[in-house]
Amino acid sequence: MLAHISAEDLRRIYLDFPIASCVIGRDGRVLAHNREFADVVPTPGGDVAGRYVADVFGAVVMEATARTFAAFDQGAQEPQQEIGLFGRVFIAAVRPLRDEAGEVTAICAALTEITEQKRLETRLESANRELQAANRRLAEAASTDALTGLWNRHALEELLPREILRCRREKAPLSVLLVDIDDFKKYNDRYGHLAGDDTLHAVAQVMAGVLRRPGDMIARFGGEEFIVVLPGTAAAGAIRVAESLHKAVESLAIEHASIAGARLSISVGAACFSLIPANTAIGEIRSMLIERADQALYAVKAEGGRGIRLHWDGGSLPSSDGQLLPAR
């Protein structure tokens, strides 16, 4: 069918083709271009025929043109590429023009503008990042106690079973501490609930500062109670952490005139498995740890508070500064 189309008709078709295109010679000059291409180049009149690619588009495009000629000379094909020109974005497709002997004499380049698509992609990517950040914030909010800044009970219920499973798999010990602020109701009654909230936050933060290992976790268990999860920690280590928590809270020197000693204090009940039983359900292990720590805490409270008691798979015993096992 092309045999019936004159050279002039072909020229008009090329000039009016709706995609910007140009022909580049081996010397790096623009041999011809259509009207759409003229609109791409910010040149008076838009006519760049006869000018060097380096002068029109810069050295980077000139280098790419040289690489393209070299690829075509070796019989290779050049894939479409995304390029930026004059503040706009295009997909560039190139094809070789050959003489009768099959030698590459020039290349034809077609430019399809995708500026608006790229802007939309950028906005969508930005919106997606914002959405992901918002989801992370929501997840953190759902797992964080608003008053103390610690993990909440929901986060605990997700983490503790995983740590039990991991410690069982690694044949590592696991300890849990239940911490209660002594006579906190009396504190609220005397100093008011706002002061009580401030104190809860202060105690929570100073205890969180005691936990230095990445795997350790402290969460608000409810009211003035906190729970500490210590993966890989045996009985001796649990007692040492409990004593460090005591000292940290004492260092706050918060007045509590309604109790003996007149300073805010805590009681700690600890439970430890030196080895997680292999034939016991994870949920049952979780319940046993918390129940045993609660029993130990109750024993401390029954003795007047301000103490530590450990319930472990070797029995129940009070802490003793002079009889601690090796540090964890």
Residues 312, 272 contacting (CB under 8 angstroms):
yes
Residue 177's identity, in one-letter code, is L
**Residue 271 structure tokens:** 């439970």
By DSSP bridging, strand 104-113 and strand 88-98 are antiparallel
Q: Which residues partner with 82 through β-bridges?
A: 91
Residue carrying the six token digits 């409990």: 242
Describe the strand order of the beta sheet including 217-222 as a list of residue ranges: 217-222, 225-231, 174-181, 266-273, 308-312, 315-318
- DSSP type of residue 172: -
Residues 274, 314 contacting (CB under 8 angstroms):
yes
Kindly give, in sequence order, each residue whose CB lies less than 8 Å from that of residue 120, ignoring residues fewer than 6 positions away: none
224 is catalytic: yes
| φ/ψ of residue 167, rounded to 5 | -65, -35
Of these residues, 158, 224, 255, 284, which one is catalytic? 224
Residues with catalytic function? 224
